[in-house]
Structure 1
Amino acid sequence: MSDKGFKYSILASGSTGNSFYLETAQKRILVDAGLTGKKITSLLAEIDRKPEDLDAILVTHEHSDHIKGVGVLARKYNLDVYANENTWKIMDERNMIGKLDVAQKHVFERGKTLTFGDVDIESFGVSHDAIDPQFYRFMKDDKSFVMLTDTGYVSDRMAGLIENADGYLIESNHDIEILRSGAYPWSLKQRILSDKGHLSNEDGAQTMIRTIGNRTKKIYLGHLSKENNIKELAHMTMENNLAKADFGVGTEMKVFDTSPDQALPLTNI
């Protein structure tokens, strides 16, 4: 591949499992592996990639829809795994990913930037009911891509950290009315709607209005709930809000859907 920029694929995004793939000329990285090792392997095959070619897995937080396959893949393919200290502590205490060799375990603290081969990765904290959740901005050759799901709200500070990226994976977890009238127990509804829960379709759209800039070309809607959302509704909410705010959707900028079980094509940025 060209040494310029990077390629990425959203392998899976949803309440049932999440995984993101990024490659540069020097490195191949997974962010989260929230499905079985077997399923991640088949998703990588959809973009003509193999787990044995990976260099590392970055972990955002310890919820099972983000780490289910981490241990299996790391042991089988001898991969380095990066997470912050608190996330390591809880994963180890609760034996969430099984035993790894000490040499495979690396600390990547929230608020730090890691230079990984030829790509810079900036971590930033989010507001979610995990021990110390963090997401990432990838930067190379004046291009950047931001992953932001699993947060109950977006502070001004967070919005400032992620502004004007070329591409975003942004949470559109639920439609508030569908969630409120749905079958979930009230305690779970409260958790999802709280500041430590998930962004609604409307929240995700408002976050994008606050953060996108003239560089932004691609917005991917992520972590949709199977029970509390409809893909078309999430898409329409994002496009309508952006259009109302005078962003040229469909011309300079496009909105894309993601899938919980099908990899999106490998894309250059």
Structure 2
Amino acid sequence: MNLCSIASGSSGNCIFVGTEQTSLLVDIGISARQAENGLHTIDRTLPDIDGILITHEHSDHIRGIGVAARKAGMPIYGTRGTLEAVKRCSSLGKIDESLYREIRPDEVFQIGDMEILPFSTSHDAAEPVAYRVNSGGKSAAVVTDLGVYNDYIVEHLQGLDAVLLEANHDVRMLQAGAYPYYLKQRILSSHGHLSNENAGRLLCRILHDNLKNVFLGHLSQENNYEALAYETVCTEVTLGDNPYRAKDFKIQVAKRNMPSEPAYI
């Protein structure tokens, strides 16, 4: 299995996960052209994609799905609430209704040789989910836009081989920054985004010997930067209540506007 961030940040997100037989995208919150260019770096094209897994309807996760769907005709998977919200987004243009596939949280479905488990997340969207994908005895997950984590989230992230996990903001940068008060409160709320510290604490709860690839994704352009997210998460892991140190794992920050180094698991 291959997990690769095509782009990940507050301005747009698109994650590839696939096998030799099946290719999927989690979100297309960038232009279809940028997604296509990113896919070329891992020897894929948009017509190779067997499905788009939508986490939720915010523009940084769906911006490119209209063009991509019209160009390549791939199915679009999402919860009922998400798909209804997507259909109301006039900026996406006309999308063939037959491409929509409704899924339900905590109900496994199959695309090719990949078993997909969507699970609910806490975010201010219609019916958001994260995704865990299993194939050939390997597992990867994409978990962003997570206002808060709990035992339910931790349970769904056990036994992974690779994970892309949100590390959206540094709390001090956010509090001291130029965002209006209401937006700061939204981001910090239980329906907002995961801070660097909380990303590290969540990571501590899912670490195990076979989790070898960790991507830190969905970084805020205004309230975070790569080195800070990396160092904060690594410190939480090394000093946390677990038997590991950050150097025991490959931890990388997903790039905002370009593909990151793929993880082959």
TM-score bracket relative to the smaller structure: over 0.9
Matched with 1:26 is: 21
- Residues 50, 111 of structure 2: 8 Å contact kept: no
Pick the aligned partner of 1:121 from 116, 123, 128.
Answer: 116
SS of equivalent to 2:90: coil
State the Cα deviation string for residues 182-217 of structure 1 (Å, max 9, x = none).
000010000000000000000100111112222211
Matched with 1:49 is: 44
Matched with 2:60 is: 65
Per the TM alignment, residue 267 of structure 1 is displaced from its structure 2 partner at its CA by 2.8
Q: Which runs of 5+ in 2 are unaligned?
A: none
Matched with 1:247 is: 244
Pick the aligned partner of 2:160 from 146, 154, 165.
Answer: 165
Pick the aligned partner of 2:80 from 78, 82, 85.
Answer: 85
SS of equivalent to 1:168: strand
Report the AA paired with residue 82 of structure 1: Y
Aligned counterparts of 2:114 and 2:91: Cα–Cα separation in 1: 29
- Residues 108, 116 of structure 2: 8 Å contact kept: yes
Per the TM alignment, residue 104 of structure 1 is displaced from its structure 2 partner at its CA by 1.2
- Residues 164, 214 of structure 1: 8 Å contact kept: no
Report the AA paired with residue 248 of structure 1: R
Report the AA paired with residue 20 of structure 2: A
State how 1:123-162 maps to structure 2 within 5 Å. Answer: 123-162=118-157
What RMSD, in angstroms, separates the aligned Cα atoms of the two structures? 1.3
Matched with 1:229 is: 224
Aligned counterparts of 1:237 and 1:223: Cα–Cα separation in 2: 15
Per the TM alignment, residue 95 of structure 1 is displaced from its structure 2 partner at its CA by 3.0
State the Cα deviation string for residues 72-118 of structure 1 (Å, max 9, x = none).
10011111111111111112134353322232111111221111111
Per the TM alignment, residue 55 of structure 1 is displaced from its structure 2 partner at its CA by 1.3
Matched with 2:177 is: 182
Pick the aligned partner of 1:205 from 181, 190, 200.
Answer: 200
State the Cα deviation string for residues 18-67 of structure 1 (Å, max 9, x = none).
00112212211111000111111111123232112111111110000000
Q: Tell me the TM-score normalized by structure 1.
A: 0.94
Matched with 2:254 is: 258
Matched with 1:75 is: 70
Q: Which runs of 5+ in 1 are unaligned?
A: 1-5
SS of equivalent to 1:110: coil
Aligned counterparts of 2:207 and 2:91: Cα–Cα separation in 1: 36
Q: Please, which moves more after superposition, 216-225 or 43-52? A: 43-52
Q: Please, which moves more after superposition, 45-54 or 152-161? A: 45-54
Per the TM alignment, residue 71 of structure 1 is displaced from its structure 2 partner at its CA by 1.0
Pick the aligned partner of 2:33 from 30, 34, 38.
Answer: 38
Report the AA paired with residue 252 of structure 2: F
SS of equivalent to 1:153: coil
Q: Tell me the TM-score normalized by structure 2.
A: 0.95
Aligned counterparts of 2:158 and 2:67: Cα–Cα separation in 1: 35
Q: Please, which moves more after superposition, 88-97 or 162-171? A: 88-97
Number of aligned residue pairs = 263
Once the two structures are aligned, what percentage of the paired residues are identical? 36
- Residues 13, 30 of structure 2: 8 Å contact kept: yes
Aligned counterparts of 1:43 and 1:204: Cα–Cα separation in 2: 26
Aligned counterparts of 1:150 and 1:128: Cα–Cα separation in 2: 6
